[in-house]
Amino acid sequence: MPLLIGACALVATAYLLGATWLTQPTLGVPLGLWLIVVAVGIFRLDSRRAARRFTGVSESSEPRAFVWVVSGAACRAFEALTRLARPLQERFDVLSGSGERAASRLSAWHDRIAWPDRPLRVGLAVGPEVSDTLRAAPGSSAMRWVQLGGGVTPLNACKSMALDAVLHIEPGEGLRVTTLERSGRDAAWHDWSSPRPLTYASVFPFLIDPTHATLGIRSVASGPEAELARAIIEAASALSRATHRIGLADRLIGRRPTDGARLDDGEIARIDRSMLRLARAFEQAAERADSSLARVCARVLSADLCAGAGRSWATTDLWDLIARVAGDEPEVALREAASRFVLLDDAGGHAALIRADASLRLRDNPEQIDHTALLEWEIEHGESSDQAIGRLAAGVCLACATRDAHGIACMRDDLIDDMRHNAWLVDREQDQALILDVFRNIERLRRSQELGLAAAA
DSSP state letter for 171: T
pLDDT in the model for residue 265: 52
Query: Among 32, 67, 95, which residue terminates a domain?
Result: 95
Per the DSSP assignment, residues forming a β-bridge with 210 are 189
Number of residues written out for the chain: 457
Provide DSSP, 225-282: HHHHHHHHHHHHHHHTTSGGG--HHHHHTT---SSS--TTT-PPPHHHHHHHHHHHHH
> How far, in Å, are 308, 382, 429 from residue 435 at the CA level?
20, 15, 10
> How far, in Å, are 86, 196, 381 from residue 201 at the CA level?
37, 10, 14
Q: ∠ CA(93), CA(97), CA(102), 5° rounding?
A: 95
Q: ∠ CA(396), CA(401), CA(402), 5° rounding?
A: 125
Residue 121 lies in a domain: no
Provide DSSP, 330-384: HHHHHHHHHHHHHTT-HHHHHHHHHHHHHHHHHS--TT----HHHHHHHHHH--S
Residue 316 lies in a domain: no
Q: Which helix (H) or strand (E) segment is 122 a member of? A: strand 120-125
> How far, in Å, are 22, 45, 70, 98 from residue 10 at the CA level?
12, 19, 18, 21
Residue 23 lies in a domain: yes
- Look up the domain containing 430 and give its range: 327-457
Number of H helices, E strands in the chain: 19, 8
Q: How many structural domains is the chain composed of?
A: 2
DSSP state letter for 52: H
Burial class (CB in 10 A: 0-12, 13-18, 19+), 263: exposed
Query: Among 95, 121, 155, which residue terminates a domain?
Result: 95
Residue 109 lies in a domain: no
- The identity of residue 85, as a single letter, is A
Please tell me the pTM assigned to this model: 0.79
Helix ranges (H only) for 113-254 are 128-136, 154-161, 200-203, 224-239, 248-252
Q: What are phi and psi of 353, to 5 degrees?
A: -65, -35
**Residue (of 143, 147, 158, 156) closest to 125 by Cα position:** 147
Residue 411 lies in a domain: yes
Q: What are phi and psi of 211, to 5 degrees?
A: -80, -45
Residue 393 lies in a domain: yes
**Residue (of 286, 341, 287) closest to 314 by Cα position:** 341
Whole-angstrom Cα distance, residue 44 to residue 379?
62
Distance of CA 448 to the CA centre of its chain: 41
Whole-angstrom Cα distance, residue 55 to residue 65?
9
Task: Determine how β-strand 25-26 pairs with β-strand 29-30.
Answer: antiparallel
> How far, in Å, are 163, 284, 341 from residue 389 at the CA level?
40, 31, 8
Per the DSSP assignment, residues forming a β-bridge with 81 are none
Tens of pLDDT along the chain (457 residues) come to 555 666 666 667 666 655 666 676 666 667 666 666 666 665 554 555 555 555 555 544 455 666 666 666 666 666 555 555 555 555 554 444 555 666 778 888 888 888 888 889 999 999 999 999 999 988 777 789 999 987 789 998 898 888 999 999 998 899 999 999 988 889 999 999 988 888 888 899 989 999 999 999 999 999 899 999 999 999 999 999 999 999 888 888 888 998 875 544 556 788 999 999 999 999 999 988 899 999 999 999 999 998 877 788 889 999 999 999 999 999 999 999 999 999 999 999 999 999 999 998 887 654 567 777 777 777 776 666 778 888 889 989 988 888 888 888 888 888 877 777 776 666 677 878 888 899 999 999 888 887 775 544 4
Q: What are phi and psi of 68, to 5 degrees?
A: -65, -40
Per the DSSP assignment, residues forming a β-bridge with 145 are 122
Query: Among 95, 122, 154, which residue terminates a domain?
Result: 95
Residue 15 lies in a domain: yes
Q: Which helix (H) or strand (E) segment is 396 a member of? A: helix 386-400
Per the DSSP assignment, residues forming a β-bridge with 39 are none
Residue 240 lies in a domain: no
**Residue (of 449, 374, 441) closest to 412 by Cα position:** 441
